[in-house]
Amino acid sequence: MFLEKHTELILNDDNCSFYIYGATKEWSLFYGRPCEIQPNLKGVHWNKKQQRFSAMLYIPEPNECIVQGIIFGDFTDYDEKFLVWQLEKTFYQKTLIRQREQKLAIIQLMGAMNSTLKIKTLLQTIMDFAILAIPVIDRGFLMLFNPEMERLYTVASAGVTERIFDYAPQLGEGMAGYTFQTGVSGIYNYQETLEIMSNVTKLNLDALMEAAHLGRIENNTSMAVPITFHERKLGIMIVHQYTNKRAFQQSDLRLLESFASQAAVAIRNAEAYEEIERLNAYFIKQHDIHQIFLKLSLQNVQELKIIQTTKELLQLDVQYVNLADRKTFLQLAEMNKLSAIKKDQLIDIGYVFPIGNEKETFGYLIIQQLEKLTSQQRMIIENAAMSLTLKSLQIQAAGQTIFKERFELFQQLISGRAPLVDSRYDELGLDIKKPTFVVKFKLKQFSHKNSMQFIQHVQQYFKDQHFIFTKRETVVWTLQGDTAFRQKIKQQLTQAIISWVQFYHQQVAIGIGDVHDHLLMVAQSAEESKQALRQALRHTQKEEAVTIFGYEDLGINRLFSKQSEEELGQFVHDILAPLYKLKDETLLTTLRCYTHQDRSISKTASTLHIHQNTLYHRLEKIEQLLNRDLHNPAHYLEIHLALHLSE
């Protein structure tokens, strides 16, 4: 019954002195937290012969407290009354002292929480002050939940070894997992502790037992409280008692819950602080990276320098596929994959980041050995993308300026207003006295980007001929050389352009003018190339084809080169309309075959697989419908021209 020994002086006057020498463990409430305890002293009994007394003190929890003491000196009736009063006074004094100590611990905790925002330091401080404020606690630990691992892990402890950090229960596992999952606080005696810990894995149980130096746990009682912030579950606090102190009470549980609330606030504040620190560091890093690429842009460095800087910052292999630069082209299949990408994504050749603006794409950054971008990596790539986009726009603007100057010079040449001496001739490698001819290109899908890519391709293939520019939706190329050089260019163009055509899936029509004696006669060649280009466009049918016409290839079409499509179409209609109106094209087919076979009856009948009499009958019908005689040279010429132009 008498579990704790005391030499506590209760009464000391001239007559006698009283000391408490034994008490039940409930008397240790004087040394614990007497929260809301109202004592009711029922009486004091003494034995004058043995000079001993015993006092029974009733309190709400745990209902009875007995203290015993020893008397020295004479014990009178007055002393009896005084002893009762003194016991009550001592109890209240101890209660007030304990309450003051608890308030002081909470005040110190608040001060400690305001002195740092480091989460581990804060939680350890909360754990320490919880044990200070509730002396009946022998040890404890505080755990937080890791949503990725779906386990609790220890961040603060007191009275246990480092092995507690190996204790990592899942949801619902043991007291910790159960408390976190249910969000319910509780006090657990020995039997309840055994039941709730029955599902703990051996690995976790061994860690917990070694951390707490537990052999047998019959005297072990526990309190567990969840740590929550605005219904958000953060973790748990668990404390144990294994010495013969008074039992845990609901008042202790409420006080531990208050410390758990402080822990929740501390965690949230620390999270907010860490987020502010992270954002601050992010913005500082962002500013530094932005300054690096801004400096590169202001220095007007080449794209290669921007890519090299990106590699150094990422510490990864980076490739830039510039759509305007044929040297960086990948295989056709890989380029087809890139062309379908509108935003950054991971494909089999690497992490791809498109470079460009809303209107067009200039190229692609390909980062090797990267599966997922971090925020810092994205920051670097986005700044690199802006620098590369700006560089591409600068190149475009410079190209437009150069093309404008070339276009103005070309306009002066074809208008006859060009000066005989001009520094621009030398800059473009032009000689006013050398034979000159013009080549014109027509792209099926013309855009500034396509024309730039095409011009760069031509310049790389034909390195010494740079007087090339865009005029409306046509690429104009002025070359100097004799007829043999022109023939060589004509032969090389198909091979030079076919790779570009196949890659971009576009038709290209090419018209080449004749060679003229000197640069000032370029106007005539320009007109001839225009006529040849028109004829090339009429013959372009396949999707991926290069159609080349020289002016000499036009033949009789030169006679019609200055007529509009409308005029030529009207002429064809006026001659052949009666045949077009027929539902059956037999007569029109017969007439075409007849002209192609030089009006040979036998060859025509054989080609059409019909009898010659049938052919005569059809030709008579055609003459009647067209109101023309096929044997009349003038009539036949009209019909032949109409058929030629319709084809």
Residue range 597-613, pLDDT digits in tens: 888 899 988 988 999 89
Least confident of 93-107, 155-169, 171-185, 538-552: 93-107
- pLDDT > 70: what percent of the chain? 75
pLDDT at 489 over 60: yes
In the chain, the largest separation of any two C-alpha atoms, in whole Å, equals: 167
**Token match 């009666």: residue?**
578
On whether the CB atoms of residues 138 and 241 are closer than 8 A, the answer is yes
On whether the CB atoms of residues 503 and 544 are closer than 8 A, the answer is no
pLDDT at 276 over 50: yes
Position 182 scores a pLDDT of 93
| Residue of 116 and 190 predicted with greater confidence | 190
Q: pLDDT band for position 18 (50/70/90)?
A: very low
Give the list of residues 6+ apart from residue 38 with CB closer than 8 angstroms, or none.
59, 60
| Residue of 370 and 388 predicted with greater confidence | 388
**Token match 């709400």: residue?**
60
On whether the CB atoms of residues 356 and 339 are closer than 8 A, the answer is no
On whether the CB atoms of residues 8 and 30 are closer than 8 A, the answer is no
Least confident of 8-12, 299-303, 459-463, 629-633: 8-12
pTM across the whole model: 0.49
What's the mean pLDDT in 155-171? 92
10 Å Cβ neighbour count for 612? 12
Position 513 scores a pLDDT of 92
How buried is residue 34: exposed, middle or buried, by Cβ count under 10 Å (0-12/13-18/19+)? buried
* Distance of alpha carbon 167 from alpha carbon 602, whole angstroms: 104
3-state SS assignment for residue 581: coil
Give the list of residues 6+ apart from residue 467 with CB closer than 8 angstroms, or none.
406, 410, 428, 429, 430, 477, 478, 479
Position 584 scores a pLDDT of 82
Residue range 374-388, pLDDT digits in tens: 888 888 888 888 888
Give the list of residues 6+ apart from residue 419 with CB closer than 8 angstroms, or none.
412
* Distance of alpha carbon 322 from alpha carbon 310, whole angstroms: 15
Least confident of 24-38, 356-370, 392-406, 479-493: 24-38
| Residue of 174 and 457 predicted with greater confidence | 174
pLDDT at 616 over 80: yes
What's the mean pLDDT in 26-45? 38
Position 644 scores a pLDDT of 81
* Distance of alpha carbon 47 from alpha carbon 53, whole angstroms: 6
* Distance of alpha carbon 255 from alpha carbon 258, whole angstroms: 5
Partners of residue 71 on adjacent β-strands: 18
What's the mean pLDDT in 464-470? 71
Position 531 scores a pLDDT of 87
DSSP secondary structure string, 415-434?
Answer: HT---SS-HHHHHTT--TTS
Position 165 scores a pLDDT of 93
Position 210 scores a pLDDT of 87
What's the mean pLDDT in 264-286? 84
10 Å Cβ neighbour count for 334? 15
- pLDDT > 90: what percent of the chain? 13
Position 32 scores a pLDDT of 31
Residues in the chain: 647
3-state SS assignment for residue 345: strand
| Residue of 114 and 294 predicted with greater confidence | 294
| Residue of 172 and 541 predicted with greater confidence | 172
Q: pLDDT band for position 141 (50/70/90)?
A: very high
Position 119 scores a pLDDT of 77
Q: pLDDT band for position 219 (50/70/90)?
A: low
Distances (CA, A) of 339 to 123, 402, 537, 578: 54, 29, 27, 50
Least confident of 73-87, 193-207, 356-370, 407-421: 73-87
What's the mean pLDDT in 519-548? 81
Q: pLDDT band for position 143 (50/70/90)?
A: very high
Closest CA to 140 of 225, 30, 34, 262: 225
Partners of residue 231 on adjacent β-strands: none
Least confident of 27-36, 135-144, 348-357, 486-495: 27-36
10 Å Cβ neighbour count for 541? 8
Domains of the chain: 8-99 (no CATH), 116-273 (3.30.450.40), 300-395 (3.30.450.40), 419-559 (3.30.70.270), 565-646 (1.10.10.2840)
What's the mean pLDDT in 578-591? 86
Position 171 scores a pLDDT of 93
Position 635 scores a pLDDT of 87
pLDDT at 569 over 90: no
Average pLDDT taken over every residue of the chain: 77
* Distance of alpha carbon 262 from alpha carbon 142, whole angstroms: 12
* Distance of alpha carbon 317 from alpha carbon 308, whole angstroms: 10
First to last CA, the chain: 123
Written as one letter, the residue type at 214 is L
3-state SS assignment for residue 555: helix
What's the mean pLDDT in 442-454? 76
3-state SS assignment for residue 239: strand
10 Å Cβ neighbour count for 605? 21
